[in-house]
Amino acid sequence: MVDFETQIPTAYDPFSEAKEAGSAGAKEYVHIRIQQRNGKKSLTTVQGLGKQFSYEKILKDLKKEFCCNGNVVRDKDVGKVIQLQGDQRKNVSQFLLSARIVNKDQIKIHGF
C-alpha cells in the first residue's frame, strides 16, 4: 500500500480582514452615496471620515466650493454623515483627494 501525504485544506475566509477592524491591514473606507428624493432631486451623503476631522468645517468648505446647501446628520449606527444637495459624488471625491483628507484607494463611490 502506498502512503500519500494528504493535506486537508483549511477553510479560507475572504472577509477575515473586515472582521479584524483593529488590524494594521484593515482599511477604513469613505463612502460617497447618492439618494433619490422626489423627481429629479437628489442628495449626496459622505460617511466614514475619520473622527479627528471637523465635519462642520469640511461641510462649510464643500458648500462654498460647490454652491450647494448641506448639513451634518448624526446617525446612531454609522456616526456622523455629511449630506449635500444634488449629485456631488465626483466633486466631493476630488475635493477630498485635493485636500489630502483621504487617499484614492480609500474612497468608494456608490450610486446608479
Residue 93 CB neighbour total at 10 angstroms: 18
Q: At what angle do helices 55-66 and 89-98 cross, to 10 degrees?
A: 120
Closest by Cα among 50, 99, 51, 43 to 68: 43
Indicate the domain borders of the chain.
Answer: 37-109
pLDDT in tens, the chain (112 residues): 566 566 555 555 555 544 454 444 446 899 999 999 898 999 999 999 988 999 999 999 999 999 999 999 998 888 899 999 999 999 999 999 999 999 999 999 998 6
Which fold would CATH assign to domain 37-109? Translation Initiation Factor Eif1 (3.30.780)
- pTM summary value: 0.73
Give the closest residue to 94 by CA, choosing from 49, 10, 40, 32.
32
Contact call for residues 44 and 34 (beta carbons, < 8 A): yes
